[in-house]
Amino acid sequence: MGNQLEFRHFKYFLAVAKELHFRKAAEQLYISQPGLSRQIKQMEDNLDIKLFERNNRKVALTKAGQYLKKELETNFKRLDDILSQAKLLHDGIDGNLKIGYIGSAMQKSIPEFLLKFRDTNPNVLVNLTEIDNNRQIEALLNQEIDIGFVRLERVPEGLEMHSIFEETFSLVLPKKHAINATNFEQLSQFKDEHFILFDASYSESYYEKIMQIFDDSGFYPTILHSTVNASSIFRLVENDFGISIVPTSLQNGYNLDVKFIELTNIRQLTTLKIVWNSSNTNPLLENFLNVVNHFVKINFNKK
């Protein structure tokens, strides 16, 4: 292999690998299509590797091209993280911890974890993003976030997950609804109501658990709306579009005209869990896990 490859060659390769179309990639890169083709051919010749299969109809990556695309994307992401960390250090900040979470985690767990974390890591930038369970898993695998707070039963290989706390479910009703905690008997009292639930895309296992609650109660709910956002559920309930079932911790932190009835007479519980990528090298990850371990013994493996 020669030594003529430059950073631009990898940039050009990734553009074509993403678009699988030389003209579109060239337009994105603001260079001519023939010029881009020459650069890719030069890269292939230099590496002595065929990266693309080309014919008049389509462009496709070879196995070697697929591998190179995956590895370059991973390592360019790592390079971006390194450069970002260097800039933070230059600006007097010790590092950056990126946390993804579902809404209920912010009502109970995350605030106390962050307060304790700040005691020992006062000069750290923490980025918080509310995203649904499945998107958190994708972001963790791509190391776009360092830590996630989810309600899932299982995660892909390469991710570690441990329970934080288990809790009950609660009914959410409009404030003026005739049924309240004193005259509530069983969920079947609501068999004729419209329900507003977290969408299955929020978490398939969570959705299945909610359906089990209805199954145990002897009816299938009429689902009028579904969403991945707790505040949307509460707004819809508040405006009499229906009722809902949510984790009990979500009754904290919202100032709405709804009321909650805790479902203490059902077998289903929901568990908030913390999840992270075991190959993540951010030193702040272990610091945060140590903080969580102060509250909940998660028995994580230190790398």
Assess if residue 301 is contained within a domain.
Answer: no
Assess if residue 30 is contained within a domain.
Answer: yes
Q: At residue 272, what are phi and psi to the nearest 5 degrees? A: -85, 135
Say what the pLDDT of residue 300 is. Answer: 53
Assess if residue 177 is contained within a domain.
Answer: yes
Instruction: Give the pLDDT confidence of 247-263 residue by residue, as tens digits.
Output: 998 988 777 889 999 99
240's CB contacts (< 8 A; 6+ apart) are 174
Q: What is the DSSP string of 144-207?
A: S-SEEEE--S---TTEEEEEEEEE-EEEEEETT-S--TTT---GGGGTTSEEEEE-TTT-HHHH
Residues 173 and 264 both lie in one domain: yes
CB 179 within 8 A of CB 173: yes
Assess if residue 251 is contained within a domain.
Answer: yes
198's CB contacts (< 8 A; 6+ apart) are 206, 207, 210, 226, 227, 228, 230, 233, 246
Per the structure, the count of domains in the chain is 3
CB 236 within 8 A of CB 198: no
Instruction: Give the pLDDT confidence of 229-248 residue by residue, as tens digits.
Output: 888 999 999 999 999 999 99
Structure tokens at 37: 């083709």
Residue with the bigger pLDDT between 92 and 109: it is 109
Residues 114 and 248 both lie in one domain: no
Has residue 227 got a pLDDT over 80? yes
HSE, CB side, 13 Å, CA atoms: give it for residue 42. 14
CB 124 within 8 A of CB 288: no
Assess if residue 2 is contained within a domain.
Answer: no
Instruction: Give the pLDDT confidence of 120-169 residue by residue, as tens digits.
Output: 888 888 999 999 898 999 999 988 999 999 999 999 999 999 999 999 99
- CATH of residue 210's domain is 3.40.190.10
Say what the pLDDT of residue 77 is. Answer: 81
Q: Domain boundary residue among 32, 61, 86?
A: 86
Band of residue 3 on the pLDDT scale cut at 50, 70, 90: low
303's CB contacts (< 8 A; 6+ apart) are 278, 281, 286
Residues 26 and 112 both lie in one domain: no
Assess if residue 35 is contained within a domain.
Answer: yes
- Helix residue ranges, H only, the chain: 7-19, 22-29, 33-47, 63-90, 103-108, 110-120, 133-141, 204-217, 230-238, 283-295
Domain span at 44: 7-86
d(CA 182, CA 179): 8
Instruction: Give the pLDDT confidence of 42-57 residue by residue, as tens digits.
Output: 999 999 999 999 887 7
Band of residue 303 on the pLDDT scale cut at 50, 70, 90: very low
Residues 39 and 106 both lie in one domain: no
Residue with the bigger pLDDT between 108 and 163: it is 163
Residues 252 and 226 both lie in one domain: yes
CB 57 within 8 A of CB 17: no
Q: Domain boundary residue among 33, 63, 86?
A: 86
Q: What is the DSSP string of 58-81?
A: -EEE-HHHHHHHHHHHHHHHHHHH
Residues 210 and 261 both lie in one domain: yes
